[in-house]
């Protein structure tokens, strides 16, 4: 009897403990309030959020509007470009091909793309498929992204694969994790050549459809061709006011960030992944051996010695960022385009998935929501992440605005120095970079202009700044990517080349201006 009572007492204690853990998540009304306040704090038109726990969707809502143009409501069915969260799909596709015996992660890239070359002959021979999707091939942060970013460029996948040879690595091979999209485009071409399907076809037919992501598409153009109406407009701040801006993603970069999805489908994806990459119909798409490859640390990076989650490691697997939070492994990724950012977070041993999709480009917005939700499930003391990120971004934006004011004020002042300014005969003409192509400096009769041949949306006015430097003020003000144009002048004062440098550190890293080495063509 005493034994039975003791067992009953233990069972009751465990039940209460489980119940407390099960209901420790943030209350629904509190989360609703947090998201509403996040919209206001970071001036985001629309946010949708999903939470998956123990195989069930416990939260799935949209807030605000999907577009300031139409004022259509944001819902959990509103389609959003998930951007670099697509990389996990690319890695999954490759793992499926490994399971089918069609390739190995350690195969050389040249085995499938014979014409592929890196800048270094040794690396060209040694770079593997695994190197492509771990950000460790030696290319720098965002290096080469100007071949597809912003949208509207003329580069094909074939061009990008070819032009990789002109990108001079910033690091030694396999020594550094430096986030790079170009290598994922190459990985997408491997999928195409091995499977015979385009990357988007493979993703839709072999992953999205079997997993049950019925509303999702392999690319933005496919979504538009299907005449879907519940899809966001992108939004960005211009002169202090958030406005709708053109969707920005180039089809050539789909393998790095092309998928269009929504909360309902991404929750299905999260459940599929945490259920051993097994569909609701019971079909296992990736073997446990390959899952271990995908979610094992392939290259590490430093983590803060002291952080809120007591993290001991950080780095990248195959298509996924990895770290630990309060003793639990976290698998996650973010994605960003001009006018939209997204975040996808899994804590597999807790069967917890958190998805945040937005139609503005404030990463602080998704971090405020994800961290608050995550903390509640981890049983951590409540922290006001919204205030933390809000205060941080207020300071960053204020500093950025002040910096811009000072730079443009200096430009205005220098306009008065007619003798010290660069003359047209010194700089007019065409300059060429081996991987980006031609950039022309011309005078349209009103001002000096800069035009990028292979990226025609990159055009703008040149403003005087110093005796050999001008500012390129891009026509599209949503870019927030104005640059210093530093002309290399010869002994006769004529430009032989030019280098570009963003005027601010907050410029998106995909505006890869600093890696251009433009030499005068004529």
CA diameter of the chain: 103
b/e string for 438-453 if b means 16 or more Cβ within 10 A?
ebbbbeeeeebbbbbe
Q: What is the pLDDT of residues 364-411, one digit of tens each?
A: 999 999 999 999 999 999 899 999 999 999 999 899 889 999 999 999
Q: What is the pLDDT of residues 215-271, one digit of tens each?
A: 999 999 999 999 999 999 999 998 889 999 988 678 899 999 999 999 999 999 999
199: nearest Cα among 164, 160, 152, 231: 160
Within 23-86, residue ranges assigned H as helices are 28-41
Count the Cβ atoms, other than its own, within 10 Å of residue 224: 13
Q: Work out the end-to-end distance of the chain between its first and last CA atoms, rounded to an integer number of angstroms.
A: 98
Q: What is the pLDDT of residues 132-161, one digit of tens each?
A: 999 999 999 999 999 999 988 899 999 999
- Bridge partner residues of 260 (DSSP): 81, 217
Residue 50 contacts residue 261 (beta carbons within 8 Å): no
- Give the mean model confidence (pLDDT) for residues 24-50: 94
Residue 75 φ then ψ, to 5°: -130, 180
Lowest mean pLDDT among 8-17, 120-129, 318-327, 397-406: 8-17
Within 415-467, residue ranges assigned H as helices are 424-427
The three-point CA angle 422-472-415 to 5° equals 45
Q: State pTM to two decimals.
A: 0.93
362: nearest Cα among 346, 386, 384: 386
- The sign one gets for the Cα dihedral 342, 347, 353, 354 is negative
How confident is the model at residue 24, as a pLDDT?
A: 54
Q: What is the pLDDT of residues 53-95, one digit of tens each?
A: 999 999 999 999 999 999 999 999 999 999 999 999 999 999 9
Q: Which structural domains are found in the chain, ordered by start?
A: 24-396 (3.40.710.10), 417-520 (2.40.128.50)
């Amino acid at each position: 009897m005493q034994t039975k009572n003791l067992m009953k007492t233990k069972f009751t204690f465990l039940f209460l403990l489980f119940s407390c853990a099960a209901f420790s998540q943030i209350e629904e009304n509190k989360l609703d309030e947090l998201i509403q306040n996040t919209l206001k704090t970071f001036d985001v038109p629309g946010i949708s959020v999903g939470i998956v726990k123990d195989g069930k969707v416990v939260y799935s809502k949209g807030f605000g509007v999907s577009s300031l143009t139409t004022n259509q409501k944001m819902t959990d069915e509103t389609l959003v470009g998930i951007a670099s969260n697509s990389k996990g799909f690319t890695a999954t596709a490759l793992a499926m091909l490994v399971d089918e015996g069609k390739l190995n992660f350690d195969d050389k890239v040249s085995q499938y793309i014979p014409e592929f070359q890196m800048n270094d002959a040794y690396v060209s021979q040694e770079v593997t498929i695994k190197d492509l999707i771990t950000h460790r091939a030696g290319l720098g942060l965002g290096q080469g992204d100007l071949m597809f970013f912003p949208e509207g460029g003329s580069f094909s996948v074939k061009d990008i694969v070819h032009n990789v040879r002109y990108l001079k690595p910033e690091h030694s091979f396999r020594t550094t994790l430096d986030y790079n999209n170009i290598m994922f485009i190459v990985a997408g071409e491997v999928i195409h050549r091995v499977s015979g399907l385009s990357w988007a076809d493979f993703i839709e037919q072999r992953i999205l459809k079997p997993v049950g992501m019925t509303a999702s598409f392999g690319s933005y153009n496919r979504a538009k061709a299907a005449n879907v109406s519940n899809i966001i407009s992108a939004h960005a701040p211009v002169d202090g006011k958030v406005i709708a801006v053109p969707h920005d993603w180039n089809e050539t970069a789909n393998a790095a960030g092309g998928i269009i999805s929504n909360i309902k489908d991404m929750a299905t994806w999260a459940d599929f992944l945490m259920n051993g990459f097994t569909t609701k119909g019971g079909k296992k798409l990736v073997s446990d051996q390959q899952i271990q490859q995908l979610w094992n640390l392939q290259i590490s990076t430093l983590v803060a010695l002291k952080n809120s989650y007591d993290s001991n490691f950080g780095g990248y697997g195959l298509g996924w960022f990895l770290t630990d939070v309060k003793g639990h492994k976290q698998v996650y990724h973010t994605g960003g385009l001009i006018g939209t950012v997204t975040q996808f977070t899994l804590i597999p041993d807790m069967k917890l998935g958190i998805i945040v999709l937005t139609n503005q480009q404030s990463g602080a917005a998704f971090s405020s929501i994800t961290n608050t939700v995550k903390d509640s499930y981890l049983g951590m003391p409540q922290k006001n992440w919204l205030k933390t990120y809000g205060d941080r971004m207020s300071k960053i934006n204020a500093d950025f605005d002040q910096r811009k004011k000072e730079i443009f004020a200096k430009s205005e002042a220098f306009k008065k120095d007619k003798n010290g300014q660069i003359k047209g005969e010194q700089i007019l003409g065409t300059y060429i970079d081996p991987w980006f192509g031609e950039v022309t400096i011309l005078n349209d009769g009103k001002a000096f202009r800069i035009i990028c041949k292979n990226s025609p949306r990159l055009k703008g006015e040149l403003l005087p700044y110093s005796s050999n430097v001008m500012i390129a003020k891009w026509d599209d003000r949503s870019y927030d990517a104005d640059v210093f144009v530093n002309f290399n002048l010869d002994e006769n004062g004529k430009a032989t080349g030019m280098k570009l440098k963003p005027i601010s550190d907050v410029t998106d890293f995909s505006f890869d201006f600093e890696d251009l080495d433009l030499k005068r063509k004529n």
